Structures are given as C-alpha cells and as structure tokens.
A and B are shown apart, each in its own frame.
Chain A
Amino acid sequence: MILKVYRYHRGMVSPHYDTFELELRPGMTVLEALFQFQEKLDDSLAFHYSCRGAVCGTCAMLINKVPRLACRTQVESLLKGGLKVPIVPYPAIAETVPWNPEEEVLVEPLPHLPVIRDLIVDMDAFFQYYRFIEPVFTPSADNPEKERTMDPAAVKKLEVYTNCILCAACSGACPVEGKNPRYLGPAALAKLYRFHIDPREGRTSRLKTADIPTGWWACEFYGNCSLVCPKGVPPRIAIAKAVAQLKREEKEKLKKQ
C-alpha cells in the first residue's frame, strides 16, 4: 500500500505530499502506518498520538477525505473500499491532490484549524469555544454528605454526550465551520447540551449561553458531525433539541406578554 501524506511547515509557500510505500499487515491502522513512515522514511513527520486505542481523542485527521481517528482506522478496510461515510461535501474536502483509493491512503490535517506542521493542527480555537460554553457542572444545591442520587435512565441519556472525547473530528466535518470560523461548533454545543440535560445541574438557563447567532442558530443541520463521531455522539440531535426548546420558550414568552 501507499501512504500519501500532507507535509507542511512554517516558511513553506504551499504544502506538498510525500508518498511512502509499505507492506500491508492485517489489522494495520493508519496511525501505525504513520509511525512506519516516521521510523523508516522520515522522522520529521509530525502528528499527534497518545492512547492508540480510540479513547484519548488526539489523532483526529482527514483520512481519505473523512475526518476520523488515525488509530481506529484500518488500512485494509480503506483499500477495500470500506469505511465510506456519506458526509455532505464541503470545500475543505474538495480534491487537493490526485490519489487512487484502491492503492493509496490519503492523510491530511483536520480541516478548519490552522496547520502547525504536517498533520498537527492548532486546537486553540476549538478549546476556546469549549471554554466559552463554561463546561463545568454547577450543582443546584449545596453538596450532600453522600452522592446525589440519579435515575439510571437519566444516566443513559447523559452518557450519549459525556462520551465525547473532544477529538474535533466533528468540527473538521462541519460545513458551517468552514464558512463561519466564529461558529461555536458541534463539539462545544454538544458539551453544553450535556450540562443542560444533567438532572443535577443548577443553572436552568444553560441553553442561553449559546443563544447567539454563532451558537445554536448557526447550525444548518448537515449532520456530518454525527456521522463522523468516533464515539457515536450526535451533536446534530442536541442542537435540534436545543433550538426547539428555545423556540418554544420564546413562543411562551410572547404569549404571556
């Protein structure tokens, strides 16, 4: 197989692509292929890695034009034409370089974030929006001596959102983020929703934090976020529910007036 990798470092006029041929081993992931590139061809190739088990969210990148975790993506499946994700096309995944998906795996940095070097992007903006939604549990009352009790059914609903690993694959897949860099984005909004539906949460108006043009209202419901999430988190559903609730509240407010 051939790995085709985006290369860029500061001072370069434009990025280029390096190709590296390696022997396919059953079970090989894209992350392993990148390590082979680094170890056998060029140790200056830069990419983020940590757990290699799809739990830490470090290695999201654009693989065959789909944002995904390199550690979780099997090379063999890609070459066999599998792992296709029916995301809505957007400018950041337009063709950049010719490639043959039957022989080559194309690896590029996650879209919508500035590239620092090769496959490493600057996540500052992503975490800035995370911080904007004030991602911290604010209890409704003083802490009891023991744990607060929780209905297991509520836990089940919450887990859908607490499973987010903040890898930013959803951001990279979001057509709105491409045209509106000030959009808070699916990850931050899903996180905010997680606090909103926590039955222990004291701030009843949490949805208001993103009740701004670059918040809930900016979403155009392409649904790419939910399709690429490696953990099955559905930001699109969270946003739709939040929008519906805000509209309902607005209507009720008008009725009262």
Chain B
Amino acid sequence: MIHHHDILIIGGGLTGLRAALRISDAGLNGAVVSKVHPLRSHSVAAQGGMNASLGNVKGEDGATDSWESHAYDTIKGSDYLADQDVVERMCREAPTAVIELEHMGTVWSRLENGKIAQRPFGGAGFPRTCYAADRTGHNALHTLYEQVVSREIPVYEEFFAISLITEGGRCIGCTALEIMTGQVHGFLAKAVLMATGGFGRIFDKSTNALINTGDGQALALRAGALLKDMEFVQFHPTTLYGTNILISEGARGEGGILLNKNGERFMERYAPHSVDLAPRDVVARAIEQEIAGGRGYEGGYVHLDLRHLGAERITERLPGIRQIAMDFAGVDPIENPVPVQPGQHYSMGGIDADINGATKVPGLYAAGECSCLSVHGANRLGGNSLVETVVFGRLVAEKIVEDVENAPTPDDKLVKAAINSVNDRIEGILRREGGEHFFTVRDAMTHTMTSKFGIFREKQTMQEGLDEIKSKQDQVSRVSLQNKEREVNQALIRFLELEGMLLLAEAVARGALAREESRGSHTRTDYPERDDRNFLKHTLVGFRNETMYVSYQPATLGIFEPKERVY
C-alpha cells in the first residue's frame, strides 16, 4: 500500500506533533508515522519542566530573566560546544513556545498571581523552568495530541519505519511495517522530518522508555546523513535505584539534597556554589565518585532526601515522583530518603542538522532529541530538552513548508521497489534458524555500553568495548527469531531495533575514542582536561560502504567566549 503526503513526520512525540500542527497551519497535507500511539511516546515521561525566560519569578537579587541569560547558562552548561547561533534562536523563541502551549490548553502550574510558575533547575541563573507539577511532558503531549485529533491530522499508529527512500540523493519517503498486520507500506512525500527521540536503550541502566532505541538516527545514517556528537550521552544523577526510573531534577530544584552513606552533603565538596543544583554531568560524576570511594550504599547508590520539604510541598509540587518512589522502591519520600544512582538519560548527539533542521540529505530534516542542531553541546541543562522539542518542532516545520514549495513530486516506481526489498529482508530474517537468540546479543551490547562507555571513560576499556560491539554486529546477522509470523511480531520489531542500536553503539564508541579530552558528559580519565585547541569541534560520524568514519566540524561561537566551567 502506498500513501502520499506533502510532508511525512516520523515520530509522534512533542517534536513530531508540534511540527504536524505547524504543517497543518500552512494548509499542507502532513502525516505522522509512529511505532507507538503518540501518547505512549517518551515525551510523556518528562517530569521537571520547560525552560523559558518568562521572568515570572525574579532572580535572587531581584533581577529579571532574559533570553541572553538563558543562552549563557545553556552555552556554559554545554561546556561551550553548543552552536551559539542555534542556542540564541531557541532561547529567543522559548517564551513563545511555552505561551502557545498555554493557549492550546496546557494546565501549567501557577504562581499566586496566576502567571505560569517557574522553578530553579540545575545550572540555571534564574528560576526559569516552567512546569506542570512534575508531569510537564504528560501535560504538553496530551495538549498537542488533542490539537492533532481536532484537526484530523493523519497518524499512522504502530507503524515501524524500516527504510528511507531516496531518489537521486533526495529523501522522498519511507517504508514502514504496520505492526498489527505485518504489511509493509510505502510513504511518499516531498520532505521527511525525523522526530524519533533518543537512543538511551543502547545502555542497560537508562531512564528512557523501552521504545527509545534510536531508530531514526540509524535510518538517517543508513540513508547518508551524518551523526553528530554521539559520544555525548547524558547520565542523570538521580534515577531510582533498581529500575532507573527518573527522579526529576525538580526534586532538587524544590530543595532536595543528596547525602552519602555517612549522611554527608557531599555536593558541597564538588560544587561549592551550586551544591545540589550543579548541572547533571557534575552531579553524576560526584555521585559516581562517592560510590567508588566507598561512601555509597551497598549496591551502588546514595540518598536523595526530601523530608525537610514537608508533606504539603512534596504532594503539591512532586506528586509524580512520590508515586514513583512508592510504586517502584516502596519508599515514601515524605518519610524516607529516596535511593538514587546515575543512569543514562539523554542523547545530546544525534542526526547532524543545521540551524533549520536540514540534514546533509536533501529532503531529510531532523528535530528534537534524535537530532543534533546543536543546542546542548557536551551537556544538556535540565528543562532544555522539552523547550527544544516544541521550539524546533515548529521552526523546522516552518522551514520545510518553505522548502517543499519547489520540491518535485516523487513518483511511485521507487517506492514499490523499496517495499519489495524490505519484504525480502523481512522474509530473510524470519527464515533464519539456529544461532543465538537476539536477546542475548542485546543484553551483551547494553552491558558493554554501560560498563565501557559510562560516566568515566578510558582508552583501553573503550577499545575493548568497540571490539565487543563489532563482534555483536557480526553475530546479529546470524541470530534467529522463534516467531515466524508477520502479524504482530514484536520479536521482529525488537530485532530490527537492535540492528540499528548496534550501529549507534559503534558511533558512540568511535566518537568517544577519538575525543581525547574531557568535556561535559564525556569524561576521560586518561585525558581529564578540556582541550579547546584540539577539540572545540563537533564529531561527525558517517557510514560509507558499510564502514563508519569520523570527521569534525567547528563549533559556532560568537556570543560567549569559552571559559573554565565552575559551579
């Protein structure tokens, strides 16, 4: 079956839905293809908030927040790797993005004067993070979905995109497997926007939804796009011990403190000014060092103490994390400290795209976590990912609307060939017998990534890790599935995800090995210093003749000169 649309969006989270609305505003025929129902996207899990310099809450000395201050914090937080022109654009647009969500019906938390409430977040000079209790992503995603439904924008739910189709180097659509029927569909469009989210599940300890397998990055890489800064993986300092479910930075924003086994507020030693509200890379490293130094609890965790906030504040501002702590760790934060440890949380890197979201492949665009434009550089500040999704969901869609005016209408011939080739590939996978089960390969990969590409990295272990990944890539071509059916074959989907994840794991590994410095989330014990002379630049990974290669591109400065990062 072949579907025709002006613009195809792959991914139905905040970025994808925001883009869909903008395309609908322009009167164009856009459609969303998503491997899950849009409301099940990982955006729904975002807790703490969305940064925007609304200035509704004054700073410490009575000063008012500004986009410049937001940009400064973001760039400093990025360890100066973010592209400053892109950061400027995001920070200027952020207030509009928050307000337009309010106009669409999002129920933001409010101040006594009725304005949108803002809370302090890590690495921010002002209380800048707008929130809907600790369910900000949930509230924003439901609002956007309501708008999409009311405009009757087509959504292909539970369609797993398998390949991008290119014609003369231009992206003209994709093939996708309808999971429930097993049928392969072809989608043709004048442009494709990738909005598929992060790839956290290449790690075994991750806050991410199980669906965050980086499918979009792998599709783009195979279609000739580049991946940028893949080695910069954010480890969130406070994930619930046991399940690694996120415990929002908002918990520390509201006054929560971290304590080691000796009851010591150890962040005072690592970040004397910001203490518990230092940026995520700083706090995650500190916790890891406390644990390594024998000052963590058995099993490898520390305590996040909220008790002093009192029952009222916890139930009002942090009801979701209280529920999570009770459901998944049997701990009520009103009565007991919450056991937390660092875990993979966010992918700063992603599909290389310019300030307009355009990739190297004409017709292919990217926005949101799957992309790297780059606003987060080497470390993302809390509250900046949600704002990125809605700001660039809209702006990139705007650019696409402009660009497709002159784009050729693709023809059906190529898509038929693409469907046939995907069908052959699926049949080939289903026919395989014997070999290891692919779950074993997946578990080995996620373990390698956590143990060898975690918070602290070093050449020799990373080289071993890369070798392990290469050998898993080799193994995966021989594994088989028990389920041989086409309809509702989730094993097949998981296998296809795994193939892509192994490519991304290699991209992370190659980027990390080549970057012989420590910057933001990327900490090399063998190169502990930041090296602006050699590495104030973006890593690019490409894929040619089944081989990955690394190149570089300078970071865009222009507003703030790189300085030492002290918190």
Contact = CB atoms under 8 A, between A and B. Distances in A.
Given A52-B209, A137-B143, A158-B107, A148 B37 contact: no
Interface stretch (A55-63, A100-108, A238-246): A55-63
Contacts of B103: 139, 143, 147-148
Contacts of B548: none
A148 B107 CA distance: 11
A34 B304 CA distance: 31
A119 B105 CA distance: 34
A165 B108 CA distance: 17
Interface in A2-61: 9-10, 27, 29, 38-39, 42-44, 46-58
A147 B115 contact: yes
B439 interface: yes
A58 B36 contact: yes
A105 B252 CA distance: 38
Interface stretch (A87-95, A149-157, A174-182, A211-219): A149-157
A117 interface: yes
A134 interface: yes
Given A39-B439, A42-B482, A46-B490, A51 B209 contact: yes
B45 A56 contact: yes
Which among B104, B107, B150 has the greatest number of chain A C-beta atoms within 10 A?
B107
Contact of A56 (B44, B115, B143): B44
B112 to A, nearest CB: 6
A219 B538 CA distance: 59
B146 A44 contact: no
A51 B42 contact: yes
Q: How large is the interface on B (under 10, 10 to 19, 20 to 34, 35 or more residues)?
A: 35 or more
Contacts of A44: 482-483, 485, 489, 491
Contact of B109 (A10, A57, A148, A152): A152
Interface in B128-179: 132-133, 135, 138-139, 142-143, 146-147, 149-150
B116 interface: yes
Given A44-B491, A116-B488, A149 B36 contact: no
B107 A9 contact: no
B242 A51 contact: no
Interface in B102-132: 102-105, 107-116, 132
Contact of B324 (A29, A54, A159): A54
B103 to A, nearest CB: 4
A204 interface: no
Q: How large is the interface on A (under 10, 10 to 19, 20 to 34, 35 or more residues)?
A: 35 or more
A54 B327 CA distance: 9
Contacts of A43: 437, 439, 481-483, 490-491
Which among A72, A147, A163, A198 has the greatest number of chain B C-beta atoms within 10 A?
A147
B180 A116 contact: yes
Which among B40, B211, B491 has the greatest number of chain A C-beta atoms within 10 A?
B40
Contacts of A158: 107
Contacts of A251: none
Contacts of A52: 209-210, 243, 245
Contact of B45 (A48, A53, A146, A152): A53
Contacts of B109: 152, 155
Contacts of A10: 487
Given A149-B115, A151-B114, A53 B245 contact: yes
Looking at chain A's contact residues, the main secondary structure is loop
A56 B488 contact: no
A208 interface: no
Contact of B105 (A9, A27, A131, A200): A200
B320 interface: yes
A166 interface: yes
Contacts of A74: 327
Given A44-B491, A53-B246, A146-B99, A136 B110 contact: no
A123 interface: yes
Contact of B320 (A9, A55, A130): A55
Given A50-B42, A57-B39, A143-B103, A117 B488 contact: yes
Interface in A78-120: 116-117, 120
B552 interface: no
B488 A131 contact: no
A57 B102 contact: no
A58 B487 contact: no
A64 to B, nearest CB: 17
Contacts of A139: 103
B549 interface: no
A131 B41 CA distance: 19
Contacts of B560: none
A200 B98 CA distance: 16
B323 interface: yes
Contact of A51 (B40, B146, B150): B40
Contacts of B210: 49-52
Given A139-B103, A151-B110, A162 B488 contact: no
A137 B105 CA distance: 5
B254 to A, nearest CB: 16
Contacts of B488: 9, 46, 116-117, 120
25 contacts: A9-B487, A29-B328, A38-B490, A39-B439, A46-B488, A50-B211, A51-B45, A51-B210, A52-B243, A53-B45, A55-B45, A55-B138, A74-B327, A117-B488, A135-B146, A139-B103, A147-B102, A149-B114, A150-B107, A150-B110, A151-B114, A152-B109, A152-B110, A155-B107, A162-B107
Given A44-B485, A152-B110, A198-B107, 19 more contacts: A44-B482, A50-B209, A52-B243, A52-B245, A53-B328, A55-B44, A72-B328, A74-B327, A123-B37, A131-B149, A135-B146, A136-B149, A136-B150, A143-B103, A146-B99, A150-B108, A152-B114, A155-B109, A155-B110
Interface of B: 36-37, 39-42, 44-45, 98-99, 102-105, 107-116, 132-133, 135, 138-139, 142-143, 146-147, 149-150, 180, 209-211, 242-243, 245-246, 316, 320, 323-324, 327-329, 437, 439, 481-483, 485, 487-491
Interface of A: 9-10, 27, 29, 38-39, 42-44, 46-58, 72, 74, 116-117, 120, 123, 130-131, 134-137, 139, 143, 146-152, 155-156, 158-159, 162-163, 165-166, 198, 200
A-B CB proximity, top 8 nearest: A137-B105, A149-B114, A44-B483, A136-B150, A43-B491, A147-B102, A50-B40, A53-B245
